[in-house]
Amino acid sequence: MKQIGAKTFANQFTCVAEKLEQEAIPSSVQYIGMEEAAQEAVRHLMTAMFPLHFGTTEEVLSAVDKRERELKKAFDALACALGYVSEDQTEAARRAMELIETLPEILGELKTDIIAAYEGDPAATGFDEVILTYPAFKTIGIYRIAHRLYQMSIPILPRMLTEYAHRMTGIDIHPGATIGKYFFIDHGTGVVIGETTTIGNHVKLYQNVTLGAKSFAVKEDGSLVKGTKRHPDLGDHVIVYAGATILGGETSIGHNCVIGGNVWLTRSLEANKTITIRAEENE
């Protein structure tokens, strides 16, 4: 059978392209290449923090030399990605360096997360296994980088990074969430942590936990009110088991609480409480 080429429909292609242009959402910036640069940057940043676990072995380098090489590559990729959302390349370069200078603090936080994973999972055989194989660690690592960018009021890029992690692991952490040290997500798939969530230290979540919004404030014209507190607060040493859903910006879970599997919670809990789905059904 003779194959019919695209030239046969040249006029139709032109017509469809013109109609697509008419329906296009207007934008003053072309973002082509930003996502690739962002992903490259985060890979180099993670390698700079963990040079014995990530990256390539093309050259025999000391750990310090490899960290420096990765930092330079991360800077170039970051400056490229930031160039799409900055006034000029000078500002993009300044912001890239500002983020890189926070890496020691980020690594300090990630070290506590590694410890929490190892101590919180009896299946963990060591820190190396956590770093190399735990999807939650990769997600938390990218989140902690993205959160710094979010704090710098950089648009688009922080969310781009956490959605990159989301696609890889199935764990959805908004870069605006505030998360303390020694944070561990066991298994991880299906976890959702909303933008205005705050999480204390030594908190452990299991798979399919949602820390979300109960409802959205609406303006007179029907549009959503932006920038309000919509997600819950979790204190220190809280454990939330699989499938639990905690909703609402006024919902506060006190220190040392345990939330059982599949619990649906839209009210606050005092410290040192344990709640199960059976207890919720009986109230």
Give the tens place of pLDDT for each residue, 176-192: 999 999 999 999 999 99
Residue 55 lies in a domain: yes
Query: Which residues lie closer than 8 Å to 69 by C-beta, 6 or more apart?
Result: 61
- State the pTM of this model: 0.92
Say if CB 271 and CB 277 are below 8 A apart. no
pLDDT of residue 2: 64
pLDDT of residue 159: 98
- pLDDT greater than 90 at residue 172: yes
The least confident of 24-38, 43-57, 222-236, 269-283 is 269-283
Mean pLDDT of 13-33: 91
- pLDDT greater than 90 at residue 37: yes
| Residue that terminates a domain, selected from 120, 147, 171 | 171
Least Cα distance to 258 among 210, 205, 216 occurs for 205
Same structural domain, 203 and 241: yes
Same structural domain, 184 and 163: no
Q: How confident is the model at residue 58 (pLDDT cuts 50, 70, 90)?
A: low
pLDDT of residue 5: 80
Q: How confident is the model at residue 279 (pLDDT cuts 50, 70, 90)?
A: low
In the chain, what percentage of residues exceed pLDDT 90?
Answer: 84
Same structural domain, 110 and 181: no
Mean pLDDT of 147-165: 98
Mean pLDDT of 210-221: 86
Least Cα distance to 182 among 195, 163, 165, 199 occurs for 199
Same structural domain, 220 and 133: no
pLDDT of residue 116: 98
pLDDT of residue 255: 98
- Structure tokens, 183: 């944070």
Residue 222 lies in a domain: yes
In the chain, what percentage of residues exceed pLDDT 70?
Answer: 96
Residue 5 lies in a domain: no
pLDDT of residue 226: 84
| Segments forming the whole domain that contains residue 254 | 177-283
Same structural domain, 81 and 137: yes
The type of residue at 219 is K
CATH label of the domain that carries residue 48: 1.10.3130.10
- Structure tokens, 17: 């392209």
Mean pLDDT of 139-146: 98
Same structural domain, 36 and 156: yes
| Cα(185)–Cα(171) distance, integer angstroms | 9
Beta bridge partners of 269: 253
Tally of structural domains, the chain: 2
| Cα(149)–Cα(31) distance, integer angstroms | 18
Same structural domain, 106 and 134: yes
* Residue predicted with more confidence, 216 or 22: 22
pLDDT tens profile 102-140: 999 999 999 999 999 999 999 999 999 999 999 999 999
